[in-house]
Structure 1
Amino acid sequence: MIIIKLPPLKLTRYYIELAPYFMMYTNLMTYPLKFRQHVLAIKEKLTYAKTASRFGVGMASLMRWNRRITPCTTHNKPATKIDMEALAQDVATYPDDYQYERAQRFGVSAQGIRHALKRLRVSRKKNTSASQS
């Protein structure tokens, strides 16, 4: 049996304060403003590379935070170019049509129609017999 002695863990104030942030945030989520401010305050004393390795964030993130510290929460783009009311009316008018036929009528892709129907909570027809329309 081999026993390896590790040096004692050095807990400083910022590790204790920010420990929950390290455990709960991943690449897919945004870091909170308090964490960003703290990292940038430490960055003033260190280089980008040292700060990035110390906090486990990317150097590109640090540079982006240095330009703009607040996270972007909205995009200046509509969710879809498909009019949802018109699509709901189209589904009521033509319940048996395929998605590619709806896509041709709306001038979009079939995949776009599929996503729009999903947002409307309209599922595709499961049975093989025609509906009573």
Structure 2
Amino acid sequence: MTYSIDFRKKVLNIKEREKISFEKVSKRFGIGKNTVFVWSKNILPLKNRNRATTKISIDKLKEDVSQYSDAYQYERAERLGVSKSGIQKALKRLNTTYKKSYKRFEGKKRRKIKISE
């Protein structure tokens, strides 16, 4: 949760005016003492950085997902020439759920033997 700049200024002004510690002012306003400490260093909130996807083409990834639906992420990474974590993040951006379709084993049923002691 991002607090407004007015609230941040108010907290820091009260801290300076009353000359109280970070811990006391944080308890007074119900926020973390580390939060007040960070505000004392820089009052402006940090901005999120939008990173550009450079290597992974979304179209190629969609095609790969439709063509090889049961492939592991490391196999996908090898085919597209990127890292495993890059594939994971790209699939997350596509909102792709990653479930493998397992076929039911149709061999002989295994019998369990229960031995009582």
TM norm. shorter chain > 0.5: yes
Kindly report the root-mean-square deviation, in angstroms, between the aligned alpha carbons of the 2 structures: 2.9
Structure 1 length-normalised TM: 0.55
Distance 1:52 1:80, change over 3 A: farther
Q: Give 3-state SS (helix, strand or coil) of 1:31's partner.
A: coil
Q: 2:14 aligns with which of 39, 42, 52?
A: 42
Which letter maps to 2:92? Answer: K
Q: Sequence identity, in percent?
A: 43
User: Is residue 51 from structure 1 mapped to residue 25 from structure 2 by the alignment?
Assistant: yes
Unaligned runs of 5+ in 1: 1-28
Please list every run of at least 4 consecutive aligned residues from structure 1 whose deviation after the TM superposition is greater than 6 angstroms: none
1:3-42 matches, cutoff 5 A:
29-42=1-14
1:107 to 76, 79, 82: 82
Count residues in correspondence. 100
CA distance in 1, matches of 2:13, 2:26: 13
State the AA in 2 paired with 1:84. Answer: I
Q: TM-score normalized by structure 2?
A: 0.61
- Mapped to 1, the partners of 2:53 and 2:4 lie a distance apart of 25
Matched letter for residue 116 of structure 1: A
Report the residue type matching 1:32 in the other structure: S
Structure 2 Cα separation of the partners of residues 39 and 53 of structure 1: 11
